[in-house]
Amino acid sequence: MSWNTIKVTVDQRGVATLLLNRPEKHNSMNAELIAEVTDAVDMLEADKKVRAVVLTGAGESFCAGGDLLWMKTMAEFSREERIIDSAKLATMLRKLNTLSKPLIGKINGQAYGGGNGLIAVCDVAIAVDSGKYCLTEVGLGLTPANVAPFVVAKMGQSNARRTLLNARPFSAQKGKELGLIDEVVSADELDETVEKELQYILQCGPNAIAATKKLIFYVDSHELAVSQEYTAELLADTWDSDEGREGIRCFFAKETPSWKQKK
């Protein structure tokens, strides 16, 4: 498929790169980009050959949040139309968040507003040390409504209060302290650091990863007694899965499972 605002490539290992490709607009989000990212995530989800997805931006920025012209247009819509457009952004973020393949954020530069929501939905976010970040919405008289579920889940309530209520800029290192970013590196180290993360993923069973990501969401949103029943059944089922049987057999036979790629 071809898109106007993004690019998607998949290498021989099954590592996909989803590139936000509006560098002249600092990869800000408009209706077209939101629709194209949503379509791309659906495609990557359905492709069994895809083992991991790297999310990054073209040019000097990762994502500058909502495109101001798009936001201005939305202000002229009816309330019903604004709700529909807002829901499309929420859907895009939710689909990225629940993607069954690991989502690695290769944060190549600044992120503002909703761009931080894109960071928050990544399983691992690796950022350049020169990046600047800000949840800008309240400074515009708006609220970070669609990104809040993901930012609060990533940062925790205390850190979210520290950043969402004041539109205060912060550095990449501060982003790590807040829990938004997992690792901060120099621009020269970014590719290598992302590759190291991918190497760990490619040693693991893809079905096991998908089940474990779903497991994390489940146990975080259910009481312990309910989770115990779910986890007992899940482990029993994975023991009996083709991937689980192969992994255990290969461990004792000192063989390499079919899904384990060479480093």
Segment 235-242 long-range contacts (CB within 8 Å, at least 24 positions apart): 238/208, 238/211, 241/207
Span 227-254, average pLDDT:
94
Rounded distance between C-alpha atoms, residue 128 and residue 186, angstroms: 5
Buried-state track 112-129, b at ≥16 Cβ within 10 A, e below 16: bbbbbbbbbbbbbbbbbe
**Domain 6-201 carries which CATH code?**
3.90.226.10
DSSP symbols for 199-243 = HHHTTS-HHHHHHHHHHHHHHHSS-HHHHHHHHHHHHHHHHTSHH
Structure token digits, residue 102: 């690991």
C-beta of residue 89 within 8 angstroms of C-beta of residue 108: no
User: β-strand 6-10 against 15-20: which pairing, if any?
Assistant: antiparallel
Please give the angle made by the CA atoms of 130, 193 and 21, to the nearest 5 degrees: 60
Please give the distance of CA 232 from its chain centroid, rounded to a whole number: 28
- Residue recorded with tokens 């192969």: 246
CA dihedral over 105, 97, 220, 102, signed as positive or negative: negative
Interval 137-186: pLDDT, tens: 999 999 999 999 999 999 999 999 999 999 999 999 999 999 999 999 99
pLDDT of amino acid 181: 98
Interval 121-132: pLDDT, tens: 999 999 999 999
Domain ranges of the chain: 6-201, 206-253
